[in-house]
Copies of this chain bind each other. A is one copy, B any other.
């Protein structure tokens, strides 16, 4: 497959860039933060996105979607990374849609996918239990109870968990800690009895929640996929999100470089435009090279997710790891090259270093994925 965007994806990219620059630039995130928005995102922008079809890129046509695939989904995520647009796009349009369209029963698909496509339902994936991502470490228990299950445990770092209508929860139905076997996935409505959601205030001003499940009763049809065999589907759902995050970080890294290069062309010190200093030129050129590598592996990964989703795990880990490191380098170099002004809250660059840190940590940081990559390569 050619490593360029299709005409269709290219048009989507241009449209997304235009819309986000106009309707959801960094200043929107700043406003949401300063106003201490309870939602943490702008519902009217989200509605607009849904109308443009962004929430349906991964929803099959029979359920009201446009099924454009992961490359298209990544193009939108990348543009959102440029503007740091806060929205439940990743948790819902990418991960929720992937979860349901690939692993949902007909009833589950029928219930959720049209609502996701329409922008009417928000989903979140509740997987982590400790400070570090490790989806085999599941202690949340799901005991059989009557016709269904009773869930007890706690989840943390649930992106968009605060505003989700439905949570996709991993819980243990069998097996011991750190075993892949025995993990099951459940669709849990946020208003189910026993669900306690506490919003966490995050460094990037985005949503995240700590969730307690205190004997939450769900029916058997809340099970997503097979009982005890939820780990593989979970990894696929996570991989869609990881690739989306990598794409988002690619956009953020590009924007950091762009703003920095523009600043280097303007700022004068010692009677010279600082962009004439070779020390800074070489660092900017190195950063450019790293970002180009990151862009390539992200595109390759998104293409693999579309063509061979069951064989994408290694590429996903490579992309998440590489882009996480590159985006952090980009954010760090941006602040350093901006000097004092980059340290002020008034300036936008700080929002990038914060968001990139969170995106890097979400669903496995660079270390996690580098380690996973090595394991998949058998060393």
Task: Compute how far the CA of A282 lies from the CA of B282 in the bound complex, rounded to whole angstroms.
Answer: 10
Q: How many residues of chain A have a CB within 8 Å of chain B?
A: 5
| Stretch touching chain B among A83-91, A273-281, A365-373 | A273-281
Task: Compute how far the CA of A278 lies from the CA of B279 in the bound complex, rounded to whole angstroms.
Answer: 5
Distance in Å from the Cβ of A133 to the closest Cβ of chain B?
A: 20
Per-residue contact bits, chain A 281-312, to B (CB 8 Å; 1 contact, 0 not): 11000000000000000000000000000000
Residue among A277, A279, A281 with max Cβ neighbours from chain B (10 Å): A279
Q: List B contacts of A281 (CB < 8 A).
A: 279
Distance in Å from the Cβ of A280 to the closest Cβ of chain B?
A: 8
Q: List B contacts of A278 (CB < 8 A).
A: 277-279
What residue in chain B is nearest A280 (Cβ atoms)?
Answer: B278
Task: Compute how far the CA of A278 lies from the CA of B283 in the bound complex, rounded to whole angstroms.
Answer: 11
> What secondary structure prevails in chain A residues at the interface with B?
helix
Task: Compute how far the CA of A282 lies from the CA of B281 in the bound complex, rounded to whole angstroms.
Answer: 12
Task: Compute how far the CA of A97 lies from the CA of B180 in the bound complex, rounded to whole angstroms.
Answer: 56
Distance in Å from the Cβ of A48 to the closest Cβ of chain B?
A: 46
Q: List B contacts of A282 (CB < 8 A).
A: 279
Distance in Å from the Cβ of A86 to the closest Cβ of chain B?
A: 37
Task: Compute how far the CA of A277 lies from the CA of B42 in the bound complex, rounded to whole angstroms.
Answer: 49
Residues facing B in A172-201 (CB within 8 A) are none
Q: List B contacts of A277 (CB < 8 A).
A: 278
Residues facing B in A253-290 (CB within 8 A) are 277-279, 281-282
Task: Compute how far the CA of A277 lies from the CA of B278 in the bound complex, rounded to whole angstroms.
Answer: 7
Task: Compute how far the CA of A279 lies from the CA of B279 in the bound complex, rounded to whole angstroms.
Answer: 4
Distance in Å from the Cβ of A323 to the closest Cβ of chain B?
A: 26
Task: Compute how far the CA of A281 lies from the CA of B277 in the bound complex, rounded to whole angstroms.
Answer: 11
What residue in chain B is nearest A281 (Cβ atoms)?
Answer: B279
Distance in Å from the Cβ of A139 to the closest Cβ of chain B?
A: 24
Task: Compute how far the CA of A23 lies from the CA of B29 in the bound complex, rounded to whole angstroms.
Answer: 70
Task: Compute how far the CA of A281 lies from the CA of B281 in the bound complex, rounded to whole angstroms.
Answer: 13
Residues facing B in A140-180 (CB within 8 A) are none
Task: Compute how far the CA of A278 lies from the CA of B277 in the bound complex, rounded to whole angstroms.
Answer: 7
Task: Compute how far the CA of A278 lies from the CA of B270 in the bound complex, rounded to whole angstroms.
Answer: 14
Task: Compute how far the CA of A281 lies from the CA of B280 in the bound complex, rounded to whole angstroms.
Answer: 12
Distance in Å from the Cβ of A163 to the closest Cβ of chain B?
A: 39
Per-residue contact bits, chain A 241-253, to B (CB 8 Å; 1 contact, 0 not): 0000000000000
What residue in chain B is nearest A277 (Cβ atoms)?
Answer: B278
Distance in Å from the Cβ of A376 to the closest Cβ of chain B?
A: 22
Distance in Å from the Cβ of A337 to the closest Cβ of chain B?
A: 13
Task: Compute how far the CA of A277 lies from the CA of B282 in the bound complex, rounded to whole angstroms.
Answer: 11
Task: Compute how far the CA of A119 lies from the CA of B277 in the bound complex, rounded to whole angstroms.
Answer: 55
Task: Compute how far the CA of A192 lies from the CA of B219 in the bound complex, rounded to whole angstroms.
Answer: 81
Task: Compute how far the CA of A281 lies from the CA of B278 in the bound complex, rounded to whole angstroms.
Answer: 9
What residue in chain B is nearest A276 (Cβ atoms)?
Answer: B278
Task: Compute how far the CA of A279 lies from the CA of B281 in the bound complex, rounded to whole angstroms.
Answer: 8
Distance in Å from the Cβ of A153 to the closest Cβ of chain B?
A: 29
Closest 5 CB pairs of A and B: A278-B279, A278-B278, A279-B282, A277-B278, A279-B279
What are 6 A-B pairs with beta-carbon distances under 8 A?
A277-B278, A278-B278, A278-B279, A279-B279, A279-B281, A279-B282
